[in-house]
Amino acid sequence: MNDKRFLHLSTLYLEGAINDYDLDLLNRELADSPERVRQFNDLRLLTGLINEHGYAVEPDAPANLAANGLLNKSCPDFSVAGDLKANAGARFTSRRPIAIALGLLATAASLLLVLNWHYTNSQRDENVTGIATLAYTSQSSWEGRAPVLGEALSSGRLHLEVGLARLDFLNGATITLQGPAEFEILSKNKTILRSGILTASIPESAIGFEVVTPAMDVVDLGTAFGVSVGADGETDVCVFEGKVEVSLSDSVDTPRLVREGNAVRSRPKDATISSVDYSVERYEDAWPVTSGVLQATGLMKFVSPGPEFVPGRYEDSDHILIFPERSRVLLESELEVDVTDPGQYIRVGRRGRHSVAAGQVIRSYLLQLNPIGAFPRGETGGARVIGQLTFDRPILGLIGGTFHLTSTDEPLGHPLGDYGDTRRGIEPTRPNDLPDSGRDNVTLSRDRRTLSLDLSASSAVDQIRVVVSE
Amino acid sequence: MPERTKQIALAWSIVRQSHLSEDAYQDMLARVFENEEIFEGPQHLRDWSWKVLRNRCYELIRQRKYRVILLDESILSLVDAELEARDTSDMAQRADALHTCLQGLSKKSRETIRLRYFMGLRGKQVAERLGSKPEAVYKALQRIYVSLAECIQQKLAAFDSRGSIS
C-alpha cells in the first residue's frame, strides 16, 4: 500500500466511511509497520490541532470574548478551549452548562501544568533521506549545488537549468526532468513541478504518485504521462499510457479522469480544465530517458509516446524506430532468444539455442526498419540505416528470427501493436556474404548496454526485439 | 495545551464529532479534579486521564447509539500508545502555523473544514451543502490534510531558522 492509499484509508476511517475490506487492510497495515502507526497519529494530531485551533477558518464568527477574557488571564492554555466552547455553544447542544465547565477549567490550571509534563524524545519529522536517486543526466547544468550521479536525493528543491536528469524513486516511479525546470520532491509519492517539463513512468507499486503544479494536481493511476509548466504557470498534462486524475489546485470537485492519448490544460486560478489536442513534441527528448533508452545516435529514432505510435501503426523509412513494448514482465518460464552474448552478429535469426532464465523481471523494445512502400522480393535498393542506442540496464537477449519474434509478440509485444504477418526479423546472410557486405549487422557491446545496428530493409521488415533487465 | 491537543485528537478519532470530543475531554477533566487526591505523580495522572478519556468516548457513543467503526482493539492499543508517547512540545508553534496555513487554503477548502469541524456536519452532510458527493469531500479533506501538514512543516522549518512563524 502506498502512502496516498494509506492516507485515503485513514481519512475514510476518521470520517466513519471505511468499508470492512478497507478496514481490514488498514488494521493489517498498522499492525505491520510502526511507520504507519506514526503516520496515522500524524493525521490524528492534525485533526486535533484543527479542532482546537481551526477556528481561524471562520474569522467572522462571533467569539464569546466575555467568557474567554477571564480564562485568558489565568490560563492561556485554555483560551482556545473557551473559544471553541463559546463557538460551539451556538451550534452544538452541549450536555454541560458552560458555567460548570468554566469553573472546572479555572480550577484546572494547576493540574494542567502537571498534565503538560516532560515528553519523550522528539519524534518530529526529519527530512526523509533517499527518496530518489539521480540515475542519469545529459548535458545538465544546475542552479546551486549540482547533485552527483547516483546521489540519494531527499525532499527538497532541484533547479535544472538545462539538459536532462532522470530521477528513480525508491517506490519504482521514474521521472525525467527537462531543463529549465524547477522541481521539488516532497515525499516519495508527491512532487511539485513549478516550471519546466517532465515525463513520468509510474509502476503499480507507486500508483497515486502526485505531481502538483501551479494550476493542477496530477495523480497517477498507473501510467505514463508528461507534464509541462510554462513560466506563467500554464500547465499541460499529456497521458501516454493508462490514465491519470487531474484536479484544479485546492478544488474539492471530483477529479477529472484523463485517459491515454488525451491531453488537458489549465492555468492558475482557472475555474476549469480544458481538453486540448494530444501533442507530444515537447516530451520527445525526455520520454526516451524515462523509458530506459539513455542515448540514441545515428538514425535511431525513439517513437513518440502514445497509443498511435506502436508497431504496425507507424512507419518511417529513414530511421530505425525504437518502440518500447512491455515493462516489468516477470518471466515465469525460460524465454528462448537468438542472442545472449556480447559480440557482432550478421545472422541473428539463425543462432543456436539461447535462453533468458525464468524468474527475471524484464522489459522489451522492438527496433524496426520498415521502409514505406513495398519492394519486390530480392530487390536491392531498400533503405540502409545505421545507428546505436544505449539502455539503462543490461540487455539479456536479442530476438531477431521471425519464429521467435512471432512467438513472443503476445507476452512481450506492445498491447496495442499490430505485428501483421509479413516476413520480419534480421535477414539471414547469403552465401559468401562478409560482415561488411551491407547485410544486416548487429553488435552488442561488452557491457551489454549498447546495441549498434546496420540494417538494410527491402522486401522484409527488419525487426529485432530487445529484452532488457528491469 | 500539547497534551490537550493529543487527547482531543484521541477523542475525535473515536467519536468523530467536535462537540462530542470536547464533551469527553471536559468530562475527563472533571473526573481528574474530583479525584485529585489519588494521584501519586504525573505519570499516574497521565495514565489515568487517558484511560478515563478513552472510556468516556466509548460511553458517549453507546449512549447515543452511534455506529462507529473502529480499528481492532489490539491495533487501537498500539496506535494510542504511540500517540500518548508523542513529543508535542512544539504544539504551540504548530498551532501558530496552522492559523497561517488555514488562511492559505482556497475558500472552498476552508468552507469544507468549517462545515466538517465547526458546524459538526458529517461527510454526507458536508457534501450536500457543497453540492458535491461524499467521496469528493473525503478526497478533498485528504488533500487539505496533506496541504496543511506540508505547510505546517515548512512554517516550522522557517521557525527553526528564524525563530518566528511567518
- Between A345 and A362, residue with greater pLDDT: A362
Give CA–CA dist A279/A269, Å, rounded: 24
Q: Judge: A44–B117 Cβ closer than 8 Å, yes or no.
A: no
* Residue of chain B whose alpha carbon sits nearest to that of A10: B142
Domain residue spans of chain A: 3-115, 132-283, 291-469
Contact A156, A143 (CB under 8 A): no
Choice among A219-223, A380-384, B107-111 with the minimum mean pLDDT: A380-384
- Give the pLDDT of residue B162: 58
Name every chain A residue with its beta carbon within 8 A of the beta carbon of B132: 252-254
Cβ contact B79–A30 (<8 Å): yes
Q: What mean pLDDT comes out for the span A48-69?
A: 52
Interface residue A170 vs chain B (CB under 8 A): no
Q: What percent of chain A has pLDDT over 70?
A: 74
- Between A4 and A78, the more confident residue is A4
Bigger pLDDT: B84 vs A225:
A225
pLDDT in tens, A283-318: 999 999 999 998 888 778 888 888 878 888 787 777
Pick from A92, A117, A125: CB nearest B42? A117
User: Does A96 contact chain B (CB < 8 Å)?
Assistant: yes
Predicted confidence band of residue A114 (pLDDT cuts 50, 70, 90): very low
pLDDT of residue A348: 64
Residues ≥6 apart with Cβ < 8 Å to A213: A192, A193, A194, A227, A229, A233, A235, A249
Contacts of B3 in chain A (CB under 8 A): 112, 115-117
Residues of B in contact with A44 (CB under 8 A): 9-10, 12-13, 79, 83
What is the CATH T-level fold of the domain A132-283, as seen in this structure?
A: Jelly Rolls (2.60.120)
| Chain B residues near residue A84 by CB distance under 8 angstroms | 18, 22
User: Which residue among A17, A27, A58 places its CB closest to the CB of B114?
Assistant: A58
Identity at A421, one-letter amino acid code: D
The pLDDT tens digits of the residues spanning B74-94 come to: 888 888 888 888 877 777 788
Q: Return the C-alpha cell found at B149.
A: 501538514
The answer to whether residue A11 scores a pLDDT higher than 50 is yes
The pLDDT tens digits for A392-425 are 889 999 998 888 888 899 899 998 888 877 767 6
Across residues A246-266, what is the average pLDDT? 86
Q: Which residue has the higher pLDDT, A2 or B58?
A: B58
The answer on pLDDT for A75 being more than 60 is no
Taking 70 as the threshold, does the pLDDT of residue A322 lie above it? yes
User: Which helix (DSSP H) or strand (DSSP E) does residue A262 occupy?
Assistant: strand A262-266
**Which residues of chain B make contact with A15, given a CB cutoff of 8 A?**
16, 122-123, 138, 141
Q: At residue A346, does pLDDT exceed 50?
A: yes
Predicted-complex ipTM score: 0.90
Buried b (16+ CB within 10 A) or exposed e, A103-129: ebbebbeebbebbbeeeeeeeeeeeee
Domain ranges of chain B: 2-84, 91-162
Q: Is B116 strand, coil or helix?
A: helix
Q: Looking at CA atoms only, how far is residue B52 from chain A in angstroms?
A: 14
Contacts of B92 in chain A (CB under 8 A): none
Has residue A64 got a pLDDT over 70? no
pLDDT band at A462 (very low <50, low <70, confident <90, very high): confident
Q: Smallest Cα–Cα separation from A37: which of B76, B155, B38?
A: B76
Euclidean distance between CA atoms A416 and B164, whole angstroms? 57
Q: What is the mean pLDDT of residues A13-33?
A: 88
Instruction: Report the top-level CATH class of B91-162.
Output: mainly alpha
Q: Would the pLDDT of A72 be above 50?
A: no
Residues of B in contact with A253 (CB under 8 A): 132, 136
- What mean pLDDT is predicted for residues A251-280? 88
Q: Do B33 and A45 touch (CB under 8 A)?
A: no
pLDDT band of residue A82 (cuts 50, 70, 90) is: very low
| DSSP E strand boundaries for A303-415 | 316-330, 335-337, 343-345, 354-356, 361-370, 384-391, 395-399
| Contact (CB<8Å) A46/B139 | no
**Per-residue pLDDT at B1 exceeds 80:** no
Q: What is the pLDDT of residue A144?
A: 84
Confidence bin at A238 (pLDDT 50/70/90): very high
pTM score, whole prediction: 0.53
pLDDT of residue A258: 94
**Which one of B23, B30, B113 has the shortest CB-CB distance to A94?**
B23
